[in-house]
Amino acid sequence: MASTSKSNPGHFFEDFSLGMPLNHATPQTLTEGDIALYRALTGGRFVQYSSAEFARGAGYPGLPIDPLHAFHVVFGKSVPDVSLNAVANLGYADGRISLPIMPGDTLRTVSEVIGVKENSNGKTGVVWVRTRGFNQRGEEVMSFVRWVMVNKRDASSPAPESVIPDLPKVVPGAELTGFAGMDSWDATLSGSEYMFEDYAVGEKINHVDGMTVEEAEHQIATRLYQNTAKVHFDAHGQKDSRFGKRLIYGGVVISIARSLSFNGLANAGHMLAINAGSHVSPLFAGDTIYAWSEVLETAELSDKVGALRLRLVAVKDQDPGAFAYKGEDGKYADGVLLDFDYWAAIPRKC
């Protein structure tokens, strides 16, 4: 009997149409086991994700899942339907993490195509999707837009009508939700005395420390999120690729850079929104990640809680105190890995 094709070929550009719903497979229950692994893989020390006692005192229902961890899980589910044939992950926008995700919660992912545009080469197109994560009670825990460049199955297929979604450059501070009360916040236990009022727009923070990433580490992390994009796992298959080796999932870079940002932003561990993000250059095993941040904006969320809008820049094999970013030509400097714009909650001074 001949072989059959029951494996998932993924979607090509022609398969995406405006408004098309994508119900993604393999909902995932997150547990204390996931929390321990995420910490061990990223070096996370933000106190509300480290101490159940601290978290409860600060208004969380218990020791929560780091929202960035949950983001990778929600994202991972969308890969087989959105980006299996993607050439590039182009960007993120309008990400909102609106509910705490707790151990025992089961996350399910649903996407909708909100934009399509064929590229002028006729071989690829850009697809925009809004991806939503839901818990087992059907509550939306997060929502974000991403866009990817996807191969066409057949270059001769006609181009669809271009629809480019109108996306906010920034989630407005006034629309941030899902933060904890932070009524009680022991700055000794959290690791830093610097609160909301201590940060000023324009300030740049050197996170100093470096973290080298091994093949085993990024593979274990990426499988933890059930992200199965081949380029991260198949060294044999990658031999003939552009880089000749496995590429590290960009989410690994975001998480390690965020963990490094503890050193300077220890109280700003709670990510509320993702405004924008670019994976500027690829990371490979053996490279060392460093990070720096810039305060872009501030917002008062309550009497006790503020928010910092931060640019998190990850760089490779270089002193982050040089604050490498873009040159005068607007191009990213050598060694910049990640340009990530997000909001984080941080307690206010009493």
Q: Is 197 helix (H, G, I), strand (E, B) or coil?
A: helix
Of 165-173, 205-213, 270-278, 301-309, which part binds its own copies (CB under 8 A)? 205-213
Nearer to its own copies, 90 or 208 (CB): 208
Residue 10's alpha-carbon distances to 84, 103, 110, in angstroms, are 5, 31, 16
Residue 120's alpha-carbon distances to 13, 46, 162, in angstroms, are 13, 45, 12
Q: How far apart are CA 98 and CA 178, in angstroms?
A: 4
202 binds its own copies (CB under 8 A): yes
> Under rule CB under 8 A, how many of the chain's residues touch its own copies?
89
DSSP result, 278-312? EE-S---TT-EEEEEEEEEEEEE-SSSEEEEEEEE
Considering only residues 266 through 325, tell me which ones interact with its own copies, judged by CB under 8 A.
266, 286-288, 292, 317-318, 321, 323
Considering only residues 88 through 107, tell me which ones interact with its own copies, judged by CB under 8 A.
104, 106
Tokens of 161: 């009508």
Among 33, 168, 172, 244, binds its own copies (CB under 8 A): 33
DSSP result, 87-135? EEEEEEEEEEE-S---TT-EEEEEEEEEEEEE-TTSSEEEEEEEEEEE-
Of 156-164, 171-179, 214-222, 273-281, which part binds its own copies (CB under 8 A)? 214-222
Q: Using CB under 8 A as the criterion, what x/- string covers residues 154-193 for binding its own copies? A: ----------------------------------xxxxx-
Taking the complex as a whole, the smallest distance from the CB of residue 156 to its own copies amounts, in Å, to 26
Tokens of 260: 């490094």
Of 116-124, 164-172, 211-219, 342-350, which part binds its own copies (CB under 8 A)? 211-219
Contact 80, 25 (CB under 8 A): yes
Among 61, 237, 244, 327, binds its own copies (CB under 8 A): 237
Taking the complex as a whole, the smallest distance from the CB of residue 211 to its own copies amounts, in Å, to 5
Q: How far apart are CA 185 and CA 304, in angstroms?
A: 10
Among 90, 220, 296, 333, binds its own copies (CB under 8 A): 220
